[in-house]
Amino acid sequence: MGIISLITGKPGPSGFGSASTAEQVTEGIDASNLTAIVTGGASGIGLETARVLALRKAHVIIAARNLEAANEAKHLILKDNVTARVNVLKLNLCSIRSIRAFVDNFNALNLPLNILINNAGVMFCPYKLSEDGIEMQFATNHLGHFLLTNLLLDKMKNTARATGIEGRIVNLSSIAHLHTYEDGIQFDKINDEIGYSDKKAYGQSKLANILHANELSRRLQEEGVNITANSVHPGFIMTPLMRHSALLMKFLKMFTFFMWKDIPQGAATTCYVALHPSLKGVYGKYYLDGNEFEPSQFARDEMLARKLWDFSNKLVNSASKP
């Protein structure tokens, strides 16, 4: 999959390419026996992902910080699909307290959990610390999803065991993982304002998404659990995620218009990895335009992935202390 395929939309080995839409890559798939959580499912590609999963008859839980927007998203889905099964739950990924409350509220619904799509995020935001004292992009894009996934793993394991259906975890990363700090992850300087770069901090968090999926995959395989974890780059899409850099993105789009996707195309790779039967038993891969793609050297570093896992655990534990 190269620049020509990106521009032309020519399908890759999977039969899909950059021009494929979420509906196209899931055509004919019956997900009526599946329950999925989509973080950030109130807008952008998260909403399209939730809509298409519901269209394929999955029971979808939209996890979002803004409940008003999430309920509007639910209404939009139901407007065109009156039989859709959609729930809305509040989730603020830059708050450990909110993440734990979300998991409690989800468990109270007494639902199974087959698919977890870690979609939500922030991008290129000015330096800021979360309520737990962690740099905002790292806290929201990586650490929040790291904790959320860990807290939901037992539910996913129990579901996979009881149903015999493979569970799937999808981390939304980005090609921006190529543009990070010199050491990949600044373990000793995660919260440093001096030297902070909004672009590199975003790239660092997206690198962390891939490393998280890879190390999680290793652990799941070692445990013999019927759950896979993979990461995806959705492509370049103008969504609310770019609110901190909208002018810059619009300027760049003038010169790189051939590389940009619309929202249905942007949600395609996520939906493909979450639902397509050809990915059964596939662990720890990175997907772009509906096809497997090789990420950066940092992203393939197993030792870095293990170090990030241990670091993330310690960070969550220290931030959780009163």
The DSSP annotation for 248-307 comes to: HHHHHHHH-GGGEE-HHHHTHHHHHHHH-GGGTT--S-EEETTEE----TGGG-HHHHHH
CB count in 10 Å sphere of residue 257:
9
Cα 248 to Cα 238: distance, rounded to the nearest angstrom: 11
Residue 198 token pair = 């909004």
Our answer to whether residue 286 is catalytic in this structure is: no
Cα 119 to Cα 145: distance, rounded to the nearest angstrom: 9
Among 196, 202, 272, 283, the one annotated catalytic: 196
Q: Are strands 286-288 and 291-292 parallel, antiparallel or unpaired?
A: antiparallel
Closest CA to 170 of 83, 40, 312: 40
Rg (CA), the chain: 18
Q: Is 61 helix (H, G, I), strand (E, B) or coil?
A: strand
Closest CA to 137 of 128, 149, 146: 128
* Strand ranges, E, within the chain: 35-39, 59-64, 85-90, 115-118, 167-172, 227-233, 236-237, 260-261, 286-288, 291-292
Active site residues: 196
